[in-house]
Amino acid sequence: MDNTNKRFKKKHRSKKFKKIMTILSFIILFLLWSIYILLNSDLLNLKTVEIYGNEILEEEEIIETGKIIFNRNILQFKLTELENNIISHPYIKEVNIKRKLPQTLTITVREREKYAIIPYMGSYIYIDQDKVVLESSDSYLAEDLVLITGVEFESFKLGHKVDIKNTALLDRAIELVAASKVINNAEMISEINIGQEDYIKLITFDGIEVLLSKSIDPVYAMLAFKETLTNIYTRNIDNIIVDMRYDGQISIRNREIWEEE
């Protein structure tokens, strides 16, 4: 009797297991069929791309750079691939893409901004604060940007950091630009020359030259620079060189006398 009960229970469990497996198989088939239908229907085709954070680039340029194809099933896009496409643009620093079902992609970007201009073999290289090359132009466009001269180029490539010899001096020049923006005297500086070994030269829009130590604190330098220029303009002095290379010492000398010595 016990053996009969055992066989009956075993047979019952087997039937129950087969029933469960049959149900699971139907569910899996249904899910696979549903996915197939979705991937091949128009219900999830891309119709709209929403772009946020762009102030420099047009939406069409971002979409084109991303190689985004409209009317393609939104689930077929590899978002990482699209992000890699867009981040290849020199002006794009960060990008994040999300699906918004059923038919929309949202793209949030963080753009790079022009920070300075470097002349190079008859062209002008526009860089951002990270020294990434944003664009190259044959003409010097009238923009509110400092010209950094004396840069010893190795090479450059759009979307990459400039390859130069005097990297530390370029870093210091960019720090000076950043400090001038904070202190609100960036509009006074026309050029920063880093071609000298021992010092950095600032040139104002009216031709005043200011000599700075390579090790000077950028914020202190810009504060002293602003105060010194205010005194110079008050006294109506021109054709001069301001020497700020030595700690705590600022000397103002006539350019002609300086050049004669």
* Per-residue tens of pLDDT for the chain, all 261 residues: 455 555 555 555 666 667 777 777 777 876 777 666 666 667 889 999 999 999 999 999 999 999 999 999 998 899 999 999 999 999 999 999 999 989 999 999 999 999 999 999 889 999 999 999 999 988 776 678 999 999 998 888 999 999 999 999 999 999 999 999 999 888 889 999 999 888 999 999 888 999 999 888 999 999 999 998 888 888 887 778 999 998 778 888 886 655 544
Residues 162, 131: contact at Cβ < 8 Å? yes
Say if 48-111 and 116-260 have the same CATH topology.
Answer: no
pTM: predicted TM-score of the whole model, two decimal places: 0.79
Q: Select from 67, 146, 56 the least CA-distant residue to 105.
A: 67
CATH 3.40.50 holds for 116-260: yes
Rounded distance, CA 79 to CA 67, Å?
11
95: phi then psi, degrees, rounded to nearest 5: -150, 145
Query: Hey, how many other C-beta atoms are within 10 angstroms of the C-beta on 216?
Result: 19
Task: Read off the amino acid at residue 77.
Answer: F
Domain ranges of the chain: 48-111, 116-260
CATH, domain range 48-111: 3.10.20.310
Strands 163-164, 153-155: pairing kind: antiparallel
